[in-house]
A and B are shown apart, each in its own frame.
Chain A
Amino acid sequence: MTTASVALESRRPMPGMGVYNMKLGMWVFLLSEVMFFTSLIGAYIILRSAHPDAFAEPGVVLNVPLTAFNTFVLICSSVTMVKAFAAIEHGDQAGLKRWLIATALLGMFFVGVQVVEYIKLAEHGFVPSAALYTAAGAPLYGMTFYTMTGFHGAHVSIGVLCLWFTVIQAFRGRYTRNSHGGVEIMGLYWHFVDLVWIILFTIVYLI
C-alpha cells in the first residue's frame, strides 16, 4: 500500500462515529478543551458574582475598541482557514497555500495585538498582581483576566505554529483533493480557538 493510498484510507469514515480517526481524535481533544475553558470561565463568573466590586465596568480598564478589532481579525482568520479547506477540497493547491498563509499571518497579528494590549495595561499598572481591584486580599480582576486571555493566547500561538507546519506541508505537496485530513483537523482547532474567543470577548470585555 502506497503512502498516498494509506492517506486516502485514513480519511474514510470509520464504523461507529462515521468520521475518520484523525478527525474523531481532534473532536475528542476539543471536547476536553471545552471543559478546560468552562472551568476558567466558570471560575470567573463565580468570583465576579461573589465580589462584584473587585471588577471594573466594561471599557474602564480594558481597551474594548482595540479588542473588538482583534476579534474581527480572528473572525477573518476563520474565514481564510475555511477558504483554505474549501480550496484543497477542489484540488486548488495555490489557493490552499495562499489562504493558509493568510490565516497564519492573521493569527500572528492577533497575538501581536494581544501582546501590545498587555504592555499597555501593564504600563497603566494593571498586572496580574495589581492591587487596583482586589477582594478578600486577592487581585481577582488581574488574575482572572490574564489567566483566561493568557491561556487563549497560548492556544492561538500554538495554533499559529501548527499553521506554519501545515503551510510547509502544503508546499511539499502533502495535501491533495482526496487526502487533506491535516488541513481539516487544523481548521477544526483554529475555529475552536475562534469560538472560545467569541465567548471570552463577551464575558471578559463586554459584561
Chain B
Amino acid sequence: MQAHTPEHAMADPAADPSVPIPEKPVPKYMLVFLGLFVLTLIELGVAFVGLSRATTIIALVGLAIYKAILVALYYMHLRFEPTRLRVAVLAPLPLAFILVLAVLTEF
C-alpha cells in the first residue's frame, strides 16, 4: 500500500488551495416550506374527501412523491449538486421500484 506523503497530497487536484470551493445558489427555503405545508393540507383533504379508492391512492402517492422530491432537491441541495452525484443518487430508485414490483407479482 502506497504511503500518503505530502507530495501525493499536493499532486491531488482536490488538495490544491488555488481551487476555490464552489459557491452554491441559495434556494427559497421558506417558499419550499410553504409548499410542503400546503401539499400536506391537500393530502389530508384528499384522504378524507371521499374520492374513489384508486383515485385517492394515486393522488396521495403522487403528492407524497412530489413532497419528497421538493425536500431532496432544495433542502438536501440535490438540485445544486454535480450531475454525477445526482445520477448516483437516482440509481437505486429504479432498483427499489423493481424490488417492490417483483415481490408484488407473487400475489
Contacts and interface: CB of A to CB of B under 8 A. Distances in A.
A50 B16 CA distance: 58
Interface of B: 12-16, 19, 21-22, 26, 29-30, 33, 36-37, 40, 43-44, 46-48, 56-57, 60-61, 63-65, 67-68, 71-72, 75-76, 81-82, 84-85, 88-89, 91-93, 95-96, 99-100, 103-104, 106-107
Given A58-B48, A86-B29, A207-B60, A202 B43 contact: yes
A19 B104 contact: no
A83 B74 CA distance: 12
Interface residues of A, number: 54
Chain B interface helix/strand/loop/mixed: helix
Given A9-B15, A68-B44, A199-B64, A17 B82 contact: yes
B92 to A, nearest CB: 5
Contact of A78 (B56, B57, B75, B100): B75
Nearest to B87: A17
Interface in A149-167: none
B36 A75 contact: yes
A96 to B, nearest CB: 15
Contacts of A207: 47, 56-57, 60-61
Interface in A51-72: 58-59, 64, 68, 71-72
A64 B47 contact: yes
A31 to B, nearest CB: 5
Given A75-B40, A199-B68, 8 more contacts: A27-B88, A50-B107, A58-B47, A59-B48, A81-B75, A202-B63, A207-B56, A207-B57
